[in-house]
Structures are given as structure tokens and as C-alpha cells.
Amino acid sequence: MSNLDDLLQRNKDYAAKQSAAGTLMPSLPRATPNLKATIIGCADMRVDPAHLLGLKPGEALVIRNIGGRITPPVLEELGLLGRIGEVARVVPAGGGEFHLIVLQHTDCGITRLAGDPDKLAHYFQIPEGEVKSKSVTDPRAAVAGDVAFLKTIPALPAQWFISGLVYDVATGLVEVVVPPAPIRSA
């Protein structure tokens, strides 16, 4: 149990710090002025967006899956986040910037599935013949494709900025592959 004990001790430190700083959010706020983004990223333990983008509590919603890819479950989750208000009500009525960020990375484990098109077809819920179009071995092409796909989803607010980033696990740096632009022009 020592690993868990260590984590629980870190939690105590976290709770003490957040409580002292007054940054705990005991109920879901009506408006969250600090919320800057929804980030879709990979589940890989090396690429937690909270770490590599320096996120503080309350600054971003994060959805993680294998590859940080746009799959039907991710779209469903984005839709439900809107329903429960975690995303929709944070968009400032008078304008203001909110970012939808697709964050993928080099040396991603999803590349090891390249030889299993049946598994990838199931993951993306597409025919096996279309798996190549998902560019699982090329994070830059993959993130560009996923951003382009998200831009076709009419339910996403037009004024959100959408961008595609690739994190380099060798340098620790994020590269902007698709610069931020509104999802749809007004």
C-alpha cells in the first residue's frame, strides 16, 4: 500500500495548500472566469496537460483517451459537458476567448496499433478501409485531421477558438501545428 500512502500524503498537502489559498471550489460555479479551455489529450502518463501546460485548478476541462483522438465517445462527452453546463455556460456572453485544444504527442503508444486496423476501426468507429485517413503514425497529420473534423461539428460554438498542438516528449516543448482560429466564421 506504500504507493497509495504516498499519493494520499500528497493529497493532504494539496488540500492544505488549496484551502489556504482559497482556491477550492466546493460547488460547481455558475460562471468560471478562470476557465480558459477544453483540452483533449492522450492518456499517456508522460503527457498530462495539467503538467505540461501548467494548469491550475479550475483553468481547463480535460478529456483524455488513447492518442488524444477525436472519437465518437469524445464527441458524446463534449456534448454532455455542454448539457451539464460545464462547458456551455462558461462562454462569456459578451465575447471573450475560450479555446478547444487538441493536444497529441510524439512517440504515442497509438502508433503501436498501426498494424491492427481492426482495432483502430473499432476505436474510431469507422470502416477498416478508412483507418489510414486517421494518420495514427504521424501526430502532426493526425492533429490537423482531428481539428478539421471538429470544425465540421455544428453543435460546437462558432466563436470558440480551436487549435491543434503536438507535444514533443523528447524536448518537453509543445508545437502549434494548427494555430487557433474560430471554429466557424460568423
Distance CA 154, CA 179 (A): 20
108 is in an annotated binding site: yes
Distance CA 109, CA 70 (A): 16
With CB under 5 A as the contact rule, which of the stretches 34-42, 119-127, 154-162, 167-175 interacts with Zn ion? 34-42
Torsion sign over Cα 173, 179, 184, 186 = positive
For residues 173 and 181, which CB has a smaller minimum distance to Zn ion in the complex?
A: 173
For residues 60 and 136, which CB has a smaller minimum distance to Zn ion in the complex?
A: 136
With CB under 5 A as the contact rule, which of the stretches 35-43, 72-80, 115-123, 178-186 interacts with Zn ion? 35-43
42 is in an annotated binding site: yes
With CB under 5 A as the contact rule, which of the stretches 4-12, 44-52, 54-62, 125-133 interacts with Zn ion? 44-52
3-state SS string over 144-183?
A: HHHHHHHCCCCCCCCCCEEEEEEECCCCCCEEEEEEEEEC
Q: Is 146 an interacting residue with respect to Zn ion (CB under 5 A)?
A: no
Sheet holding 60-65, edge to edge: 60-65, 37-42, 99-105, 161-167, 174-182
For residues 139 and 163, which CB has a smaller minimum distance to Zn ion in the complex?
A: 139
For residues 44 and 146, which CB has a smaller minimum distance to Zn ion in the complex?
A: 44
Q: Is 178 an interacting residue with respect to Zn ion (CB under 5 A)?
A: no
Enter the DSSP assignment of 6.
H
Q: In whole angstroms, how close is the CB of 44 to Zn ion at the nearest point? A: 4
Of residues 94-123, those binding Zn ion (CB under 5 A): 108
Q: Is 44 an interacting residue with respect to Zn ion (CB under 5 A)?
A: yes
Distance CA 128, CA 119 (A): 9
